[in-house]
Chain A
Amino acid sequence: MITGTNIVKTFKQRGNVLDKREVPALRGVDFTIPKGGAISFIGESGCGKTTLGRIIAGLETYDDGEITIGGVDMSSLRHRAQQPHFRKVQLIHQDPYSALNPTRTIHQSLHDPLKLRARQTGRSRQWTYDRAEELLNLVGLDPGYVLPRYPHQLSGGMRQRVVIARALTVDPEVLIADEAVSMIDVSLRLGILSLLRDLRERLGVSLLYITHDVATARYIGDDGDMYVIYRGQVIERGPTETIIADPVHPYTQALLSAIPVLYGVEQPGAEQVKPVQAADAASHAEDGAHCLFSSRCPFADDRCVTEWPRLGHAHESLQDPGGRVHACFHPVQRQVAAAPIQRS
């Protein structure tokens, strides 16, 4: 299990001396990745999803807060001592091409981490060969075909499977998939998604799935929690199906309303929420005592611009046994997600 408490990260943008800006990427985020479970981070570009994923993988520092891996507080450890813990967490990038060294065969790419692993665990050289084949089989590739080839000789879908196999060489407990299928051909995406789902079941690895595609997040982990992030703050969190079917935060509702409806197969949700301004036209007002979404929220009132709603406000009008929390002063359930057309 991995937990994060009050994770804060601010990037200081260098460059222009006069215009030295601070970019608050994460504003006190809490999360829990349960053992063998799946959670997802969703939200629009720049909301901080990747930053959070990289922090959890030990690839990025954080300014404040606490991360524990298997109960051990990382901030209590020196960098070197942290490494074995962070090695249990493997990050799969969006771009399967740049993730693999183009000048090395798949055999070479897999054997380096496996040799290290063999040394650590006192296994034989033969084991590394067997293990490479085993892992490729596990991700649904034919080792005989794939091992001697270079990345460019494989399709995008096959490359992403190789990347996943390589992540598995260190026997991770957590896989972080950051937009892992967005660059894969549409007809091959579902294969990768079901592979990730499969690995969870077969190996018991936990999954952190990062995306702005809500439907794929549901496909991977409908039994887990969905975290909706807006400008570095988790603004709604709860069981995936609850968040999709009955979101209460206007931003979650706007996000779900914006997902294209497959007309002919689906019909739009009963209600739609549209932000009052387009994303880029929104004047990102100075941070302070107000709801981060207030400049775009169609339901904002005086309270929203004078007070900052923090995650955890209890749902005021409904009993919420499902463990949903949100950060809105005026939560109202709205059914905005598209639904399949019922055929007789």
Chain B
Amino acid sequence: MTLTTPMSPDGPPSVRIRDLTVVYRTAAGELPAVRDVSMDLAPGTVTGLVGESGSGKSTLALSLLNAVQPPGRISAGSVDIGGLGDVVQLRGDKLRQARGGQIGYVFQAAQNSLNPLKTVGKQLLDLGRSHDVKDLRALVAEARDLLARMGLDGARVLDSYQHELSGGMRQRVGIMLALVLNAHVVVLDEPTTALDMITQANILEIIREIHAERGLTTLVITHDIGVVAEVADEIAVMYGGRLVEQGPVRAVLGDPHHPYTRGLIQAIPRLTGDIDEAQALPGRPPTLTTIPDQGCVFRSRCALRMDVCDTVDPLFQSTGDRMVACHAVAPAATFTTTTSESEREMTPSRAWSGIGSGRREPAADGDGVVARETNEGDSA
């Protein structure tokens, strides 16, 4: 099946997020769910954003559409999207056109976000009308093509109500609705959560194929590092509203620099190999009210914590092939571009990798987890 949609004439757009802060109003005042995040989505890449529940992934993603809802608001920063300008400054009609038009979005729990009272086809027409699509017939044809591309019977799906579709089918309908208006930036929030493995593998493959065919810039949000490994070129790791590491997937997974990334990867049980290589990460993730307002957000769980970590926010800076926010990881300045592999071993960041692996015994077992949990417990 060939798609009629051409690649965007200028190629896939870039996305540049700068110093983005998003706050939610709570009983304790306005608290940042996303703080000072700067991130680039390179044109034509798939970036996987991982983080635990409450780390701010969906909030960050909604900011790409300038769609953070009260009690939340974007309190600082910019989101520049190629061809659109700073989305944070867009208002009214322009903003409405951008959402769903240039920027496609599949909401978290897309399985449940369709209107149960309308057929998929009816919802498609609503979407078309709200974006002033003149040729609705062509829109429907495009939708059918996309659904067929994803292994579904387009005509049948368009005639169906939500409850007549399985979870995996609904996810694909969500992806179709995000793409059908010819978006070139696509944001998928947990596109495979709650699906089983075979359906997930199928959807991830579809995402990759459509991404390549249509020349998209794609952001996939998930709590599952495995999903990122399968689908993304770049990985961005979020913790407590901050971006802590971003870089090429294989490089980061193979040699994580930030202690949180390292701990997270080490905590994944594997299919083969030494079972006891998997080690629990002590402590637990912060909530909006327990995120420290100064210093490193990860320090209560960090084995490398130093005095400076309590008071000074580590900068999110380049360490060569990636960006990292950690006082224990040396910035790129210590590298020279021509360093050979053996010289690189001597740089602080590499040497540090060695230290890290030898010091996670304390508090890594079940009881230790909780000793920390209780100490750090929210006093709510």
Contacts and interface: CB of A to CB of B under 8 A. Distances in A.
Given A191-B280, A278-B151, A339 B268 contact: no
Given A186-B225, A194-B365, A338-B270, 8 more contacts: A139-B366, A157-B373, A190-B279, A261-B226, A263-B249, A264-B250, A264-B251, A265-B253
Contacts of B132: none
B62 to A, nearest CB: 21
B268 A215 contact: yes
Nearest to B368: A140
Interface string A247-263: 00000001111111111
A340 B168 contact: no
Interface string A114-158: 000000000000000000000000011110011000000101111
Contacts of A141: 370, 374
Contacts of A188: 280-281, 284, 369
Given A258-B197, A262-B229, A264-B252, A153 B380 contact: yes
Interface in B357-380: 365-367, 369-371, 373-374, 377-378, 380
A320 B362 CA distance: 42
B50 to A, nearest CB: 8
B180 interface: no
Interface of A: 44-45, 139-142, 145-146, 153, 155-158, 161, 185-191, 193-195, 198, 212, 214-216, 218-219, 222, 244-245, 254-266, 275, 277-281, 337-341
A260 B226 contact: yes
A258 B366 contact: no
Interface of B: 52-53, 151-153, 165-169, 195-202, 204, 223-227, 229-230, 249-255, 263-265, 267-273, 275, 278-281, 284-285, 365-367, 369-371, 373-374, 377-378, 380
B285 A185 contact: yes
A338 B250 contact: no
B369 A244 contact: no
Contacts of B152: 281
Contact of A190 (B169, B267, B285, B378): B267
B284 A157 contact: yes
B248 to A, nearest CB: 9
Contact of A187 (B195, B254, B270, B284): B284
Contacts of A145: 374, 377
A266 B270 contact: yes
A189 B267 contact: yes
B254 A244 contact: no
Contacts of A257: 201
A256 B197 CA distance: 8
A93 B226 CA distance: 24
Contact of A186 (B153, B198, B223): B223
